[in-house]
Amino acid sequence: MTKTNDKTSQLRIALPVVAVIGFFLIRRISEYDIWFHLAMGNYILNHGALPAVDRFSLLNYGRPYHDSQWLFQVIAAAGYRFAGFWWLQALQLLLWGGTFAFVYRACRVRCPAAVSWLLVLVTALACEDRFTIRPELVSVLVLSIYYWWLQEERYRSLSGVALLACLQVIWTNAHGIFVIGPFLVGCYLAEALIRGWRQRRFAEARSLAYLLGAVSIGCLITPGPLETLKFAWLLMTEVSPASSRVFRGMYDMASPFGEVGRTTIAFWFYYLLVACLVSSFVAVVWRRKGELPAARILIVVAMFVTSLTGIRNVPLFAVVAAPLAAELLSLVDLARYRRASLAATGVAAVVALLVWSPRPAWEQVRILAPHEFGLGLSADYVPLGLPRLLDRLEFTAPVFNSQSLGGFYEFHGYPRRIPFFDGRFEAYDPDQLLSVYAAAADASVQPARWNALQQRYGFRGLLIENGSADAAGLLPMLVRDPQWRLVYLDYAASFWLRADYPRQPPAVTEGEIASLVARATNYPNMENIFLFLDRAGLYPALRMKLMERASRSWENRFTLTHLGLLQLEAGDLAQADTTFQRLLDLTPRSRSTLTTLAQIALERGDRKRAETLLLRGLRYYPGDPQLRSNLETVRRLRGH
């Protein structure tokens, strides 16, 4: 084949892969944490120094603070000043694009272009859930560079050592998990020492020892190296039992194999990478044990274990798993063994399809991908119009906010306005955070703790994310309390102002809320505004129409459950029965749906159907006490 034909063939493979990745990667800014990073970056640019004291939140005000991610923050904030969100999107594309380029280079060393591009595609989709602008993207990019650099043995020259050491300095000052760098080099050094001990030649081990020393020094070239290392340790131990109380229930910290993780498209490609690695590893061991790349296997195993601790760590595994899979496949030189390896991967995928339904993941793609694709800022995550209102009111009083919105509030008001707390979870005392969470989440049923918190800080405003636990606790109380007025509402959040605040804007009217409902055209719009109305207990008829419209376009657990419950509240048992039956078709083993359908059947006088539904539930959950109790009740009513 000529070079021209070869390039044409590669383009035919590359262009569709790039198009698919671009569809998922080019998306609106829909990130909570980037805002406090921008606020920190602005502070550093304005003061020419890193903050030593936390003056960015009421909860932490005056405490010592060390910023370990300052370099990323400065780069993000400096670009934002000139180009706004365009810079954030360009930075995201640059970091992810660089990552996939190095993954391709590492794969291409051992595999043909077609296989390499396919592995890049699988890698990208396994990372899809983290396609956002965060400091962690620096870690993912540098990890992919390290892997390729070490694989190509570029540590043998002085320039190679110097370049990797410089890269380590950048990593150290941009994101807290920079300690992975010395670990990667250490894996290679351990393999070289074992090989050198056997062969009585230590030249390679000596080169790697120099490299380990250089990157270790790179970990110390940062303002406050001891505090930076402490922060790295904190990030590594966030999944420990002592820290997990704060992170329990957080999406980022959920296991990719958990129920939440399996609802994402990323999970299925993550699983494919795991299956491909295992099957190709078995094939290599079967054929030729001596050629296994021990250091790279150790690296990938470590990153796999790391990925199990949280969805946010999946990219760390994906970007090193694909090149290793390419290498292992290349070692299986006989076609039949290579085919057997790929067949085993296919079997593993089919088994996963049978065990875990992929329907929720594809539903998420259908709902979110078209909505997120494009340029600009998403108004479904942060209240884009709120800063203008607060500026007009000259509002600078103490505020309570949902933690996810603290960074946005901070960026658009600091230093005149500071949030109660923001997304820097590691900066706060875990016990204090849990106490605040409980006070807000339980405010409607246990108001004493909330009242004490409010009295202590003197809140004059409340910024509440529509879908948060804060909303579930505070909204039922606020709609009944004449001391608070709803003055701002959009698809992301509501803002409540104390009635005694001197500059009072008009309150949000029922007509404005109805207009928001009518203009909700995508799923996040509908879900967020519904959650506000539902938790506030407002306008059940409006909620019913909203869920009827949503369930026609997006038939999922959320829309059908809430529509059915509203129909039950309205006393329409026939429609509720139809809705919950649709839900049961989606989730045949749902205990709550089976129980609800049995209750509806009982209320409609169909005791036989109620018994049948409960018996079906007991086939799935034979020891469930509630199902057994309900069944006994139904049988007593039937005279059995």
- Output the pLDDT for position 3: 56
Mean per-residue pLDDT for 611-638?
Answer: 86
Neighbour tally for 298: CB within 10 Å:
17
- Distance CA(177)–CA(506), nearest Å, equals 48
- Residues 400-422 as b/e (b if ≥16 CB within 10 A, e otherwise) read bbbbbbbbbbbbbbbeebbbbbb
**Over the stretch 333-343, which tens digit does the pLDDT of each residue have?**
655 555 666 66
- Output the pLDDT for position 385: 95
Q: Are 161 and 217 in contact (CB under 8 A)?
A: no
Question: Which one, of 638, 604, 601, lies nearest residue 617 by Cα?
Answer: 601
- Residues 321-330 as b/e (b if ≥16 CB within 10 A, e otherwise) read bbbbbbbbbb
In one-letter notation, the amino acid at residue 488 is Y
Residue 279 — pLDDT band, cuts 50, 70, 90? confident
Q: How high does pLDDT run on average in the chain?
A: 89
- Distance CA(240)–CA(588), nearest Å, equals 35
In one-letter notation, the amino acid at residue 325 is A
**Over the stretch 214-259, which tens digit does the pLDDT of each residue have?**
999 999 999 988 998 888 887 777 654 444 556 666 777 788 888 7
- Output the pLDDT for position 501: 92
What are the structural domains of the chain?
3-30+75-368 (no CATH), 386-508 (no CATH), 543-638 (1.25.40.10)
370 pLDDT above the threshold of 80: no
Instruction: Sort residue 402 into left (φ over 0), alpha (ψ -120 to 50) or beta.
Output: beta
Residue 466 has which token pair? Answer: 């529509």
**Residue 193: HSE in the Cβ half-sphere, 13 Å Cα cutoff:** 8
- Distance CA(56)–CA(418), nearest Å, equals 6
Mean per-residue pLDDT for 385-407?
Answer: 96
**Over the stretch 580-607, which tens digit does the pLDDT of each residue have?**
999 999 888 889 999 999 999 989 888 8
Residue 119 — pLDDT band, cuts 50, 70, 90? very high
Q: How far is CA 448 from the centre of its chain?
A: 34
Q: Are 30 and 379 in contact (CB under 8 A)?
A: no
**Would you say how long the chain is, in residues?**
640
**Residue owning tokens 């930075």:** 91
- Distance CA(39)–CA(69), nearest Å, equals 12
- Distance CA(634)–CA(640), nearest Å, equals 9
**Over the stretch 533-562, which tens digit does the pLDDT of each residue have?**
999 999 999 999 999 999 998 888 999 999
- Distance CA(34)–CA(407), nearest Å, equals 7
Residue 273 has which token pair? Answer: 């990478």
Query: Percent of the chain scored above 90 by pLDDT?
Result: 60
Coil, strand or helix: which one is 372? Answer: helix
- Output the pLDDT for position 336: 56
Residue 309 has which token pair? Answer: 């601790």
Coil, strand or helix: which one is 175? Answer: coil
Residue 330 — pLDDT band, cuts 50, 70, 90? confident
Q: Are 413 and 518 in contact (CB under 8 A)?
A: no
Q: What angle do CA 316, 317, 322 make, to 5 degrees?
A: 120
Would you give the end-to-end CA distance of the chain in angstroms? 80
- Residues 572-597 as b/e (b if ≥16 CB within 10 A, e otherwise) read eeebbbebbebbbebbeebeebbbbb
Question: Which one, of 521, 474, 506, 519, lies nearest residue 493 by Cα?
Answer: 474
**Over the stretch 461-487, which tens digit does the pLDDT of each residue have?**
999 999 899 999 999 999 999 999 999
DSSP, res 263: G
Residue 110 has which token pair? Answer: 């051992």
Q: What is the 3 state secondary structure string of 521-553?
A: CCHHHHHHHHHHHHHHCCCHHHHHHHHHHHHHH
User: Across the beta sheet with 493-498, what order do the strands follow?
Assistant: 399-401, 461-465, 493-498, 484-489
- Distance CA(135)–CA(408), nearest Å, equals 17
**Over the stretch 137-195, which tens digit does the pLDDT of each residue have?**
999 999 999 999 999 988 888 888 999 999 999 999 999 899 999 999 999 999 999 88
Q: Are 364 and 263 in contact (CB under 8 A)?
A: yes
Query: Of 21-25, 37-41, 276-280, 411-415, where does mean pLDDT reach its minimum?
Result: 276-280
Q: Are 323 and 151 in contact (CB under 8 A)?
A: yes
Mean per-residue pLDDT for 355-377?
Answer: 76
Residue 81 — pLDDT band, cuts 50, 70, 90? very high
**Over the stretch 283-310, which tens digit does the pLDDT of each residue have?**
888 766 557 888 999 999 999 999 998 8
Q: How far is CA 229 from the centre of its chain?
A: 25
Strand pairing partners for 401? Answer: 463
Question: Which one, of 512, 525, 606, lies nearest residue 559 by Cα?
Answer: 525
Residue 310 has which token pair? Answer: 């949280």
Q: How far is CA 512 from the centre of its chain?
A: 32
Mean per-residue pLDDT for 494-516?
Answer: 94
User: In sequence order, which residues have a C-beta less than 8 Å from that of residue 588 and are 6 or more positions away?
Assistant: none
Strand spans (E) along 315-449: 399-401
Omega of the bond leading into 415 within 30 degrees of 0 (cis): yes
Q: Is 604 exposed, middle or buried (0-12, 13-18, 19+ CB in 10 A)?
A: middle
- Distance CA(569)–CA(222), nearest Å, equals 60
DSSP, res 506: P
Residue 45 has which token pair? Answer: 């640019």
Q: Return the higher-pLDDT residue of 253 and 124.
A: 124
- Specify which of 193-207, 348-362, 397-411, 613-627 reaches the highest per-range mean pLDDT: 397-411
- Output the pLDDT for position 342: 63
